Structure formats: structure tokens, C-alpha cells
Amino acid sequence: MNKKILGIFLIGTLLLASSVAMAQSVGWKTYTNEKYDFSIKYPDEWGKNEVSGDLYAVVSFSGPKGKNIAASVSAIETESPKNLKEKIVTKNFTIGGITQKQIITVKNGRMYVMTFVANHEAFKEANDTYFKGMIKSFKLE
């Protein structure tokens, strides 16, 4: 019985160590949008695409080829409310095999929406390896 518990513990430790090593091996770049006063870090091997208009800007990040992982930040001019005291965070939800989460905040008359998506099977690993780091790095000036 003790050997089984030890074996399970060792497997769990190895999985955690490999996940941490993978997260540490990711190089990061910083995207800064001066017009909408925000920045976010993203993995350096990811693609980046920007679209903007008079009252909005969207930056999309696409994960490694074949992984079906993506993230985006939208900044939208809004009249009200001027600020939210708390961020709105959606629970992860799955539609058609795609899982996503969103984080929404408002500051200085601008709404910022961060969206993170991946295939349902890959979402947990993408969240642990990429999305959590991106969320922590998000800064509003």
C-alpha cells in the first residue's frame, strides 16, 4: 500500500516539475498599446495581430502551430462606468469543444476584455503554461 502511495506521489511530483519547467522555458515579449495605456506579456513564439479603429483596439495572439491556443485583448472606449472596483472573471466555459475564459475591467472610460481560448483537451495545460502568466502581466497605466 505504501509503495502505491509513494508511486502516486512521485508521478504527481514529476508532472508538476515538468509543467513548471515548461512554463519557465517559455520566453516572453511585451506588447504595449500607448493609445489605450495597457501592456501584456505573451510567449515569444506566438504570432501577434493588431486591429484598431477610432474607438477600439484589439490585439490577438496565436499560440504555437497545431496547438489551437489563442488570446486577445480588446480595448473599447465607453462612456460609463468610468471604473470597476473589481475585475469580472468568467468561469471557464466550453462551446463546441472550445474552452474559453474572459476577464473584463473598466478604467478611465475604457473597457478592457481579455479572452483566452483553447481546445477543451488542451485548455488546462494552456492555462497553466501561458494564460496565467499573461493575466498576471497585464498592466493598465
- Please determine, for residue 1, whether its predicted confidence score (pLDDT) is greater than 50: no
Q: Please give the DSSP secondary-structure letter assigned to residue 104.
A: E
Is 8 or 127 the better-scoring residue by pLDDT?
127
State pLDDT tens for residues 14-30: 444 444 444 455 799 99
In this prediction, residue 87 has a pLDDT band, given cuts at 50, 70 and 90, of confident
pLDDT of residue 25: 57
Is 85 or 55 the better-scoring residue by pLDDT?
55
Residue 48 in contact with residue 60, Cβ under 8 Å?
A: yes
Peptide bond into 43 cis (omega under 30): no
Prediction pTM value: 0.78
Please tell me the distance from the alpha carbon of residue 48 to that of residue 54, in angstroms, as a whole number: 20
State pLDDT tens for residues 101-115: 999 999 988 999 999
- Which domains are delineated in the chain? 27-140 (3.40.1000.10)
Query: Positive or negative, the Cα torsion across 49, 44, 130, 105?
Result: negative
pLDDT of residue 56: 96
- Please determine, for residue 47, whether its predicted confidence score (pLDDT) is greater than 80: yes
Is 53 or 65 the better-scoring residue by pLDDT?
53
In this prediction, residue 123 has a pLDDT band, given cuts at 50, 70 and 90, of very high
